[in-house]
Structure 1
Amino acid sequence: MHSINQATKEGAITVKKLDFNCDMGESYGGWTMGNDEAVMPHITSVNIACGFHGGDAHIMRRTVANAIKHHVHIGAHPGLNDLPGFGRRPFPVSPDQAYDMVVVQLGALAAVAKTQGAWLHHVKTHGALYNMAAHNDALSQAIAQAVLDVDDTLVLYALANSRQAHIAQAMGLQVAHEVFADRSYQDDGTLTPRGTPGAMISDPQQAIQQLICMLEKGHVIALSGKPVPIQADTLCIHGDQPGAAAFAQQINEALKRQGLL
C-alpha cells in the first residue's frame, strides 16, 4: 500500500509495494470454512468475519490471535446477516440498515481485538454487500459513514476504481483499491459473477501474471480480452477456495521475487 524509490542508471523509478489480504474467520460452530492457519503466514492483512455471514465469538478471538502471532494487519469483514447463504445472496438493504450492520460488526471485532492488545487496521465488506456497494452510491455513503463514526483512522478496502472507493475517499476515508488474484474481470472493471464460466482463476501462474500486469502496466485483461485500467493497492485471495494455502504461498513467493511485497 505504499511505494519505494529505487535508483537506476536512468534515474529513480517507483516500485509499488502491494498489501496481500485474505478473508478468514468464516467458520462457525461445527462448520469449518477454509484453512486459516496455513494461509495466515503468507499474507499481510486479514479480513475477519464478524458473525453475520460467518464466524462466531470463538472463531473471531482465535483468528485475531493468529493474526497477532504472524504480525498481520487485522481488519473487520462485515457482511449481510445471512449465515445460510454465506452473505453472498443479494437482497434489498436500506442505507440505514447497512449503516447499523457495519457499526455493530466493527464494534464486535474491535472489542475482540482490544482484549488481546490489538486494534483494527481496516474494513472490507463481504460478498453481496461488497458487490452492491461497488455501484450503489447510497449504500457506499452509509458504509463509509459507519466506518467514520466508529474509527476514522481505519482504511476501507474497496473494489478498485468502484463507486464505493471514490465516494469513501470523497468523504475523507483512506481507501485501498482492491484487486483479485483468483477472479476474472468484466469490461467495466467489475468481477465476473460467480458461477459464470471463467469467473474463478485456479491456476497460480495465471493469477500471478494477472497481478504483475496490474502492477506494472496499470490494467487488467478482462475476460473478453480487453485491457481495463485498474489501481492496485491491496490484493485479495479467497481463503475458502481449494488449495488456498499453496495458492497464497506461490503468490507470496512470486511477488517477493518481483520486489512487489
Structure 2
Amino acid sequence: MSLDLFETVFKETFVLNDKRKRVGNYSLGRVIGRGAFGTVRLGTHLLSGENAAVKVVPKKSILQKDKARRRFARELHALKQMDHPNIVCLKEWMETERNFYLVLTYINGDTLKHYLNDVKRLSENEARRYINQMTSALNYMHSQNFLHRDIKLENTVLQSGGKVFIVDFGLSVDVSFLENPNMCGSPTYMAPEILLKHGITLSADIWSLGICLCYLVTGCHPYHMSFKDNYATLYFKILQGSTLPNFLSEECRDLIQRMLSVDPYNRISTEEILAHAWLERIIS
C-alpha cells in the first residue's frame, strides 16, 4: 500500500473533534490492550450502544518512522479486504489532528496463549475446533492472496463460547506485491525457508499453524525452541527433527508432520487440512 493511498484513505474520514473520551460516534472507555504503536480502548457507539475495540495510534509514533508507517499501512490495507467470521473485522477508520483510529470488532476474550498457559494442554477434540476455525480463516486469507506472516497463539483470541479470531495484521502482505521479502514474524513460529531467506510463499502460514497445533495438543513447541535462540540455532533444531508423543492419535501426528514439512512445496494446503481425517472427527 503506497503512502499516497494511505493518506487518501484517512483524508476521507477526517474527524474534527479529538476529545480524549470521544471520537466520531464512539465514546472511549478503559484501555483493553496495548500495541507497538498505541493503545486499544473499549469504544461504545453513541447511538446503538454496540461495543468496539478502538485502536488509537498517535501520528507521531508512526509518520516519522518509515518502518512503522509501512506496518500500519499494511495492517489497514489488509483489514479493509477481510470479511470472515474468524478474522477481526475493521468497522471503520478515522483521523484527527493527533491520531489515527481503527474501529475493530470487540472480542470479549483472551489469547489462546493465555488460555493454554492456564490449562497446559488441550484435548484433541477441543484443539480441533480451534484449528478448524483458524484454518478456515487462513484459507480465506490465502484465497484473497494475503499472507499473514505472524500466525501464533498470541495472535489468536478465544471468545467465550469457543469462537476464535485471527488478529494483528501488521505484518500481513498481498503476495502479488511481495518483492525481496524481509525476514519477519515471530522466530519460534517461522518456517525454515524464512530462516534461510529462501523466499516466502503462502505455505509459510501453514508451518506457523502447525506449530500452533502442536502447542495446543502437547503443551510444548515441537522443536523445543526458545525466544533466546538465534536463527541458525532455530534452523538446526528443525533439521534435528521432532518426536511427537504417543498419546496423540495417528491422525493428529500425521497432520502435524504434513504441516511441518521442511520443504514448503510438500507442505499440506489449507484445503487439504480442512479435508483431513483428523478434522473430520470434530464433536460439537
Normalising to structure 2: TM-score of the pair?
0.30
Larger-Rg structure: 2
